[in-house]
Structure 1
Amino acid sequence: SILPQQGDPMGIDSPLVDNEGYPRADIDVYRARTLRKRFHEIQNDHKALVHKIDIGLVEITATSTGIAREEQNHVSFQEPITPFAIIDEVFSNSPAHEAGLKEGDVLLRFGSVNSTNHRDFRAIAELVPVLAGEGKSVPITVRRKQNVEWGEVVEVKTLDLKPRPWEGRGLLGCHINKYTE
């Protein structure tokens, strides 16, 4: 057993040495280090697997079977899509600009990332470098308001964004902020 005979159980962050710098006598230090090493290996494997799943979900979303690319610009309203972010700045000559993103676009989906799983944009921050490294693009669905002669028109578009290094900051070339109605 890795539990000490007295006191609190040994945890992942518990010191392996006593106050004087000697190995603790109440635990098997070698076994504790081995278990900690294995724990960190599993943690890293888990992170890598989550990245692979995200990429797979993006690919599945991007290559929906039986749907032509033109048809992807028309979003089905069978399931409600909740906005979660707004594009408040798009830089010239950036990947976002080339994809057709505009300031004021409301983000509905970013590949497989949506209002239920964006984790305060961490999901996007984790996905973008992976896509850029693999040279892959991601379908993003936006809601855009346009003023016309007779009033305001709201359209939903799916754009193809390819994250990559460019002459500005980041890999997208736009600023994404939290959306509030």
Structure 2
Amino acid sequence: MGLRMDNIHAPTVASGPNSTQTNGDGREKLSLPELIAQKDRVWSELSALGSVLDSHGVNMSTPLTTFDGYPRPDLDIAQIRTTRARIIPLKNDYKDLMARIEKAMHEHWENAAAAPPQPPAPAAVSTSQPAAQTAEATRNSRVALEAPFAKVNSVVASSPAATAGLKPGDKITRFGDVDWMNHDKLSKVAQTVQQNEGVAITVKIIRPAATGAAEQRLEVQLMPRHNWGGRGMLGCHLLPL
């Protein structure tokens, strides 16, 4: 019959070192390229852990017990709890890194605007390594600030979402004016949909890579509407990340 477990939903904190040792004051010393690189590492680990939960058919809030309080026999409870426990601090790390990247980018543009114009360098002079790193940080900054905040869980055939080209697994980085900083648990997405019936909304997504390929960053036009033959105005189910 099994043992009843009252605290089964409490995450199990794994022992041992974390992959993101630099935090708090230590991050103040990191350059913008270093912050972006650390953000990418954290996101990669979050994606891998999310895949673990997906493989069990659960998310961060799926109940792990039966209606009468016993562990669900169809789930690997220990692995799910350990995975959830790792995801929680990583999400906090990710939010902290994104806030620091945004602050660093604002400072970068303010300094660039205040600096006097520089004469063009001779064509024969090669770009120094620090200058190349700054240029790379500038190119990556806008992409870094567009962090995914929702995932497309399912798409109904012939729906507005399907017509726009959304697919299950797509991760949304921007939905109109809504992004990772202001989505408010996706409530702003719902508000944007209600305010734009019959109007195309620009949606930016990251599409997972096929085996051996790089992930794709795409932009689609999604027009919310009623009377398309299904429920809601989109025809897709979104999950917060």
Give the alignment's TM-score, normalised by structure 1: 0.53
CA distance in 1, matches of 2:214, 2:168: 16
User: Are residue 140 (structure 1) and residue 203 (structure 2) matched?
Assistant: yes
Aligned to 1:154: 215
Aligned to 1:83: 148
- 1:146 CA drift (Å): 3.0
Summarize the alignment of residues 68-147 of structure 1 with structure 2, pairs less than 5 Å apart: 77-79=140-142, 80=144, 81-132=146-197, 135-147=198-210
Sequence identity, in percent?
35
- 1:136 CA drift (Å): 0.8
CA distance in 2, matches of 1:126, 1:155: 27
Unaligned runs of 5+ in 1: 1-75
CA distance in 2, matches of 1:116, 1:90: 25
One-letter amino acid of the counterpart of residue 194, structure 2: P
8 Å Cα contact 2:176/2:192 also seen in 1: no
Aligned to 1:173: 235
8 Å Cα contact 2:150/2:240 also seen in 1: yes
- 1:147 CA drift (Å): 1.3
8 Å Cα contact 1:145/1:152 also seen in 2: no
1:39-78 CA distance string (max 9 Å, x none): xxxxxxxxxxxxxxxxxxxxxxxxxxxxxxxxxxxxx633
Structural RMSD (CA): 1.2
Describe the SS at the equivalent of 1:109: strand
RCO greater where, 1 or 2, for CA within 8 Å and sep 6 or more? 1
1:13-55 CA distance string (max 9 Å, x none): xxxxxxxxxxxxxxxxxxxxxxxxxxxxxxxxxxxxxxxxxxx
1:90-139 CA distance string (max 9 Å, x none): 0000000000000000010001100000011111111101101xx21100
One-letter amino acid of the counterpart of residue 216, structure 2: E
CA distance in 1, matches of 2:240, 2:141: 25
Summarize the alignment of residues 20-59 of structure 1 with structure 2, pairs less than 5 Å apart: none
Aligned to 1:43: none
CA distance in 2, matches of 1:146, 1:120: 26
Higher helix share: 2
Unaligned runs of 5+ in 2: 1-138
CA distance in 1, matches of 2:220, 2:236: 14
Are the structure 2 counterparts of residues 128 and 157 from structure 1 closer, same or farther at C-alpha, using a change threshold of 3 Å?
A: same
- 1:152 CA drift (Å): 2.9
**Across the two proteins, how many residue pairs are aligned to each other?**
100
Aligned to 1:39: none
Give the alignment's TM-score, normalised by structure 2: 0.40
Match of 1:163 among 214, 218, 224: 224
Over alpha carbons, which structure has the higher Rg? 1
Higher strand share: 1
Moved segments of 4+, more than 4 Å: none
